[in-house]
Amino acid sequence: MQALLDTLRQLLGADQVLVDAAATAPFLTDWRGRYRGAALCVVRPGNAEEVAAVVRACYAAAVPVVPQGGNTSLCGAATPDSSGRAVVVSLGRLNRILTVDPQNNTISVEAGCTLAAVQDAARAVDRLFPLALASEGTCQIGGNLSTNAGGVQVLRYGNMRELTLGLQAVLPGGELWDGLRGLRKDNTGYDLKQLFIGAEGTLGVITAAVLKLFPLPRTQTTCWLNVASPDLAVDLLNRAKTAFDAQLTAFELVSEVALGLVLRHIPGSTRPAAASPWYVLAEFSDADPAAVERWLGEQVESGRVGDGTIAASEAQARRLWALREAISEAQKIEGVSIKHDVAVPVSAIGEFLARADAALAAAFPGIRVVAFGHVGDGNLHYNLSKSDAADNAAFLASQPAVNRIVHDTVHALRGTISAEHGIGQLKREEILRYKPAVEIALMRTLRRAIDPRGLMNPGALPGAE
Amino acid sequence: MQALLDTLRQLLGADQVLVDAAATAPFLTDWRGRYRGAALCVVRPGNAEEVAAVVRACYAAAVPVVPQGGNTSLCGAATPDSSGRAVVVSLGRLNRILTVDPQNNTISVEAGCTLAAVQDAARAVDRLFPLALASEGTCQIGGNLSTNAGGVQVLRYGNMRELTLGLQAVLPGGELWDGLRGLRKDNTGYDLKQLFIGAEGTLGVITAAVLKLFPLPRTQTTCWLNVASPDLAVDLLNRAKTAFDAQLTAFELVSEVALGLVLRHIPGSTRPAAASPWYVLAEFSDADPAAVERWLGEQVESGRVGDGTIAASEAQARRLWALREAISEAQKIEGVSIKHDVAVPVSAIGEFLARADAALAAAFPGIRVVAFGHVGDGNLHYNLSKSDAADNAAFLASQPAVNRIVHDTVHALRGTISAEHGIGQLKREEILRYKPAVEIALMRTLRRAIDPRGLMNPGALPGAE
C-alpha cells in the first residue's frame, strides 16, 4: 500500500494525494451523513490522462477505486466501504468546459464540471442545457451521467442518457476510451457510452462528455391547477400533451398533504388557490400564453380542473415552483420520514397510489402519505411521515416493512423501485428481489467481463462479489 | 445436423422449418441482391418462447443463428454466410400488437410487426409512432431496433434507441429476458436494452419491445427553400430551431445536382422554385402557419433564403417530399453509383462537403457528387455518380479509393462512416480502420462475454472471430 501511495504521489504530486483525516473526511461520508467509509487515500487528478494513470496503478495493486463527483448521491453510491482499502478518485479538478458548438447544439465538458457551470456555459451562447436539479451548484456532470440523472424536465428533454452524445471514460484496467463524438446518428456497432451512463462508476470512470444543447425558451407559462384525483391529473397531462406537445415542459403532481406541510413549516409560503386533494404544477415553454389560458378555461369549464391560477409574473411563477421544491424541506422539519423514489407507467399512477395508500393504512394506522413528483414521467416521490401517535424509533423500525409494501406494489404494476436516484449501497440487496434472475445474471456477466478484478466501485450495484 | 433439424421440427412443427431451395431462397439473399448465403434451414417460430427454444437448440448444437426481420438491410446484416451451417430465424410470425396504452403513451409490440403496422396501431388511438422509412411496409420492428433506425424525423423524435422504453430478447444461450417495461425513468443498474439496440442481432434476438408514442400533429407546414451553400443551410437550421424548437420536425438538404437527376428521370416532377445550388425541405408540425410564413419572409428579406415556397395544400407538400424521396430512384436510373451514409457534427457539414468534393474532383475528374440528407442530424447520403466519360466498370473499380477519400474526410471531422444503415457485412472490415483500438477491444469483450460461442449473427459487425 505504501508503494501505491508513492506511485500516486509521483503521478499527481503529493498535494493531490490526501491521506490525513481532516483532509479526507469530506470525501468519506455522503452529504446526508448516512454512509461513512474509509480509504487508503483520496486523489485529485487534474486531467483524463492522470485519471487513467491512477486507475492503472490501482489495477496493478489490486486496490478498489471509488470515483466521486460532487458527492451528492442519495444512495451512498460514491462512499467507500469501511475497509480503508479503496482509493477515492475525486474528479473535481477536471472542471473545464472543453468546447461549445452552438451550430451543432453541443457542449463538450470534463466530468468535474458542476451542472450549474454547464448550464451557464450553454446560456452564454444562447442555448439551454436542460438538466436541472436541486443540487446543481454542487453535483458534477460525471455523477449526473453515472446516475442517469432526471429532474423536472425529463418530460420534454429526457434523462441524462438522452442528453448525451459522446463520452470519454477510463476503463477498469486504466485504458482511456475516447468516444467524445458529437453525432446525432452513429450506427457503427455497440453504443458503448450507454454502458457507462447509469453504471454508478462500476464499469469505469467517466472523464468527459459531449452533451446536447437546445434553444433557450423565450417565454414560460406556469400554472397551478386543482384536480380531484391522480387519475384526473394523468388525464389532464395527456390533454395538455395533445394540445401543446413539446411545449409542455413540466407536469408535477402535489398532494394536499404535501402542500399542507409546506404551508405549515416554510415561512412566507401561501396557498395559491382553493384547497383540493391534489394539485398539478404545469409549465409551458414558448407556448402562446393566450392559448394556455384558453385551454385552461376549457378544463375548468368541463370540471376537470377545479380551480387554477396562471402565474402573472416571473416572481409568481417562482413562488409556485418554490411550493413544489420546498416539500422535502418541510417534511424534514415535520419529523422523520421514510422515502421512496418509484416510477410506474403513467397510466398506473392512480392505481399505485390507491393500492399503496390502502395497504399502508391497514398495516400502519395513522401513517401519513406525502406524495408528489414528476407525474409526466410516472415518477413519484412517495414519502411517509409517521402518525402523530407513533414515536420516531418505532416508525423507523417499521421501514423495512413499509418499503416492502411500497416496492411490492410498484413491482406488481411493472414499475421500478429507483426511478432517478439509483441503487448505490442503499438498494443493492433490495433490487435482487425485483429484477428477473436473467437480468441480474446478465448484469454480473457484463461487470465481470469489463472489470474482471472487481475493483470499480465495488460497493455500488449488485454483481461485484 | 439432422438431429438439430429433427429437434427444430419437433419444436415448431415441420411446416415452420423450411429447407427446400425455393422456400428458403427469399431469406438467403438481401433485397438488393448483393449478398447471397446458404443455411441449414429457415425457421419461423410463432412466439418468444419458440424463439428461445430454437436458440437453445442451436446453442447446444453449436450452430450459428442469423435473426431476420423484413430483410431490408442495406449492409447485408441479415444474410447468412455461404457455409450453409446457420439457422436463419425469421421473426415474421411474431407480428402481434401486444398492448396500446394511450395514457402512458406506449405501445408494446412483437418484433415481427412491420413498422407500418405499428404506425397504424398508434394512429388508431390518436397517437404518433414517429419512425418513418421508405421500407416501412416491409421492415420489421426487430430490425429497426437491431439497426437503431433513423429517418427524416430524428431531428424531433430521435432514433429508434430514443423511441424505446422496454425490450424482450432471447440471449445467445436461449434464456428469455423480459424487460418489457414502459417506464420513462428507471435507474436500477445497467440499462440492458441498450446492448441489443443497434447490435445487429449479435448479442441476442429481440422478440418484443415497448415503444414511445407522441401526440399526432394536427397540422404540418412544408417549405422548399433555396440556399446558397450548406453552411447557410446549417445557419438556417439553427434559426428555425430557435424560432420553432420542437415544432421543426424535418430539415432536409438537397443539392441542385440531386434535384436535377429527379427532374430528368422521374416523370411528372417539376421544379418547385427558381434554381439554386442547394435546397432545404423543412417541415413544421403544429406551428402557426402565419408564424412560419412570417419567419420565412424575414429569411428571404435578409437574403439568407433566395427563393422559397410554402406548400399550399397537402398535395403540394407531398409533391415536395416526393422530390426528396425520389433521389435514390433517379440516381439508379442515371446509372451506377457509389453511396455513403455518413454523419459529421452539424457544424461541420459545409467543411465536409468542401473537403470531400475537392479531394474527389482531384482524384477522379468529372465525378459527380449527388449529396442530400438529414442535415438536421449531420447525416448526409453522399453519393457519387460516374463522370460521363468514365465507363461503369472503371467507375466501380474505383470504389475502394472513393470510399477511402470520403471516409477519411469524415473521420478527420470526427464523423461516422455509418450514420443510419449499420455495419453488417458491408463495413465489417472498413470500421476497423476508424474505431479506436480501445473501442474495438471493448466491443469484442462484450460480444465474447454475452455470446462466448460466437454463434449470434457471426457475419455482422467485427468481433465474432
Cell reading at A24: 479526507
Q: Indicate if the alpha-carbon torsion angle B91, B95, B98, B103 is positive or negative.
A: positive
Nearest CA in chain A to B165: A345
Portion 255-284 of B in contact with A at CB < 8 A: none
Chain B residues within an 8 Å CB radius of A52: none
Smallest Cα distance from A368 to chain B, Å:
25
Q: Which residues of B269-289 are buried (b: 16+ CB within 10 A; e: fewer)?
A: beebbeebebbbbbbbbbbbe
Nearest CA in chain A to B162: A162
Tell me if residue B387 falls in helix, strand or coil.
coil
Contact with chain B for residue A400, Cβ under 8 A:
no
Q: What are phi and psi of A81, to 5 degrees?
A: -75, -175
Q: Indicate if the alpha-carbon torsion angle A362, A363, A366, A369 is positive or negative.
A: negative
pLDDT of residue A241: 97
Smallest Cα distance from A23 to chain B, Å:
32
Smallest Cα distance from A411 to chain B, Å:
11
Q: Do B103 and A347 touch (CB under 8 A)?
A: yes
Which secondary-structure segment (H or E) carries B433?
Answer: helix B430-434
Contact with chain A for residue B173, Cβ under 8 A:
no
Give Cα A377 to chain centroid, integer Å. 13
Please tell me the least confidently modeled range out of B94-103, B388-397, B401-410, B413-422.
B388-397
Contact with chain B for residue A154, Cβ under 8 A:
yes
Going along chain A from its start, the domains and CATH numbers come out as: 2-90 (3.30.43.10), 97-215 (3.30.465.10), 220-329 (3.30.70.2190), 335-412 (3.30.70.2740)
Contacts of A454 (CB under 8 A, 6+ apart): A447, A448, A464, A465
Contacts of A175 (CB under 8 A, 6+ apart): A52, B438, B441
Contact with chain A for residue B428, Cβ under 8 A:
no
Nearest CA in chain B to A231: B103
Closest CA to A439 of B74, B450, B140, B139: B450
Q: Do B186 and A419 touch (CB under 8 A)?
A: yes
User: Given B103, B234, B343, which is nearest A346 (Cβ)?
Assistant: B103
Chain B residues within an 8 Å CB radius of A104: 345-348, 378
d(CA B397, CA B403): 11
d(CA A165, CA A171): 19
Give the Å distances, CA to CA, from A309 to A234, A246, A325, B152, B209: 19, 21, 18, 39, 40
Contact with chain A for residue B431, Cβ under 8 A:
yes
d(CA B431, CA B418): 9
Q: Which amino acid is at B304?
A: R
The answer to whether the beta carbons of residues B190 and A194 sit under 8 Å apart is no
- The angle formed by the CA atoms of residues B25, B29 and B33, to the nearest 5 degrees, is 125
pLDDT of residue B405: 98
Contact with chain A for residue B175, Cβ under 8 A:
yes
The answer to whether the beta carbons of residues B55 and B172 sit under 8 Å apart is yes
User: Given B203, B422, B445, which is nearest A449 (Cβ)?
Assistant: B445
- The angle formed by the CA atoms of residues B208, B209 and B215, to the nearest 5 degrees, is 140
Contact with chain B for residue A415, Cβ under 8 A:
yes
Q: Do B245 and A286 touch (CB under 8 A)?
A: yes
- Over residues B184-229, the pLDDT tens digits come to 999 999 999 999 999 999 999 999 999 999 999 999 999 999 999 9
Q: Do B418 and A449 touch (CB under 8 A)?
A: no
Portion 353-392 of B in contact with A at CB < 8 A: 374, 377-379
Q: What are phi and psi of A150, to 5 degrees?
A: -120, -105
Q: Give the mean pLDDT of B77-98.
A: 97
Matching residue, cell 419572409: B297
Q: Give the mean pLDDT of B308-313.
A: 94
Q: Do B194 and A194 touch (CB under 8 A)?
A: yes
The answer to whether the beta carbons of residues B207 and B142 sit under 8 Å apart is yes
- On the question of pLDDT at B464 being above 80, the answer is no
What DSSP string runs through A32-48?
TS--B---SEEE--SSH
> How many residues make up chain B in this entry?
465
Q: List, in sequence order, every residue forming a beta bridge with A381; answer none if it has no partner.
A: A341, A372
User: Given B126, B156, B415, which is nearest A183 (Cβ)?
Assistant: B415
The answer to whether the beta carbons of residues A58 and A87 sit under 8 Å apart is yes
d(CA B412, CA A377): 40
Portion 40-69 of A in contact with B at CB < 8 A: none
Contact with chain B for residue A422, Cβ under 8 A:
yes
Closest CA to A200 of A67, A295, A16: A67
Nearest CA in chain A to B156: A246
Matching residue, cell 402512458: B104
Reported ipTM: 0.97
Contacts of A102 (CB under 8 A, 6+ apart): A125, A126, A127, A213, B238
The answer to whether the beta carbons of residues A363 and A405 sit under 8 Å apart is yes
Q: Going residue by residue through chain A, which has 465 residues, state the pLDDT in tens, using 9 for 90 and above.
A: 899 999 999 999 999 999 999 999 999 999 888 999 999 999 999 999 999 999 999 999 999 999 999 999 999 999 999 999 999 999 999 999 999 999 999 999 999 999 999 999 999 999 999 999 999 999 999 999 999 999 889 999 999 999 999 999 999 999 999 999 999 999 999 999 999 999 999 999 999 999 999 999 999 999 999 999 999 999 999 999 999 999 999 999 999 999 999 999 999 999 999 999 999 999 999 999 999 999 999 999 999 999 989 999 999 999 999 999 999 999 999 999 999 999 999 999 999 999 999 999 999 999 999 999 999 999 999 999 988 888 899 999 999 999 999 999 999 999 999 999 999 999 999 999 999 999 999 999 999 999 999 999 999 998 776
Which secondary-structure segment (H or E) carries A441?
Answer: helix A437-450
User: Given A148, A178, A442, which is nearest B187 (Cβ)?
Assistant: A148
Helix B230-244 vs helix B349-363: angle between axes, to the nearest 10 degrees?
160
Chain A residues within an 8 Å CB radius of B195: 190, 194, 446
Smallest Cα distance from A315 to chain B, Å:
25
Q: Do A191 and B194 touch (CB under 8 A)?
A: yes
Q: For residue B465, what pLDDT band results from cuts at 50, 70 and 90?
A: low
Nearest CA in chain A to B233: A103
Q: Give the mean pLDDT of B89-93.
A: 98
Q: What are phi and psi of B90, to 5 degrees?
A: -90, 125
Contact with chain A for residue B422, Cβ under 8 A:
yes
